[in-house]
Amino acid sequence: MRCLVTGVAGFVGSTLAERLVALGHDVFGVDCFTDYYPRKNKEANLAKLRSGPRFGFEELDLAVADLGPVVKGMDAIFHQAAQAGVRASWGKTFETYTSCNVLATQRLLEAAKSAGTIERFVYASSSSVYGDTTDLPMRETSRPRPFSPYGVTKLAAEHLAELYRENFGVPTVSLRYFTVYGPRQRPDMGFHRFIARLLRGEPLPVYGDGEQTRDFTFIDDIVEANLLSLNEGAAGVYNIGGGSRVTLNDVLATLGELTGKEVALDRQGKQPGDVRHTAADTSRARSELGYQPVVSLRDGLARQVEWMRANPEAWG
């Protein structure tokens, strides 16, 4: 199978591309190297892929490039590219989010429709579409009410995927990721920042009281969900969670144990756009895709700590 992976230099994109190549697929990756975090981190993510014959790459911006030649001959598209970050999506930077998350997705869907050969278009959505709800666990049928501009753009792109599936037959699947972590996690994300600071002996910035909860999902389980989306009959929207909903305070205690470091906290105020709780109902993904997370939170955190110890240049 020939697979296009957008955002291939990122955390999820590069890990997914490596897995596809290992399974014998040919992968063509694209990335525009936005400056949200250092390019050197993304280049490092691509190093293993670039060394193999089954991987091709082009640097381009999905919002402006001619996507016809990019999509031509592809069997599957894994659309991982996006401008990430809840807290950075306010104010003047919102224009970047609309371009990278909404316009780029619409243009890629249009190219997929025109190609007529795509067997599956997998869109990386987000639990941010649900917003700050008390209706837990979050279900695909729950009313989406984004609590940040980032969440608004992810939901808009998800709606576009549904529109192209229902109107033009583009075989789209949208996976709502719940807080992805693991080796190569973006340097702005919580676990990465916490581990790096612990290893350096620095206090950890914590927003709010630490009793907020998240449904944390290890990267390997996210990759597996993408692969399962290729199964016959997969269509529409699925929650992809890890089944590891715990408080931030519990995570910090575990990281202290795994690193052998004292956890010193720098308490800060709640940030705009941050939600109190997330929890995924994954019953639809389990019944229709066969999805079942297998990596426990403690094991996943241990693997991320090990990776960061071995890659201090990625700490930021």
Cβ 124 vs Cβ 177: under 8 Å:
yes
Give the active site residue among 130, 150, 181, 238.
150
Look up residue 245 and give its amino acid: R
Query: Is position 164 annotated as part of the catalytic site?
Result: no
Q: Look at strands 244-247 and 213-218 and give their pairing.
A: antiparallel
CA angle (22, 290, 229) in 5-degree steps: 55
Would you say how long the chain is, in residues?
A: 316
- The CA distance from 21 to 29, in Å, is 11
Radius of gyration of the CA atoms of the chain, in A: 19
Tracing tokens 């997929």 back to the chain, one arrives at: 112
What letter does residue 280 receive in the DSSP assignment?
B
- Under a CB-based contact definition with an 8 Å cutoff, are residues 248 and 210 in contact? yes
3-state secondary structure of 214: strand
Residues 254 and 265: their CA atoms lie apart, in Å, by: 14
Catalytic residues: 150
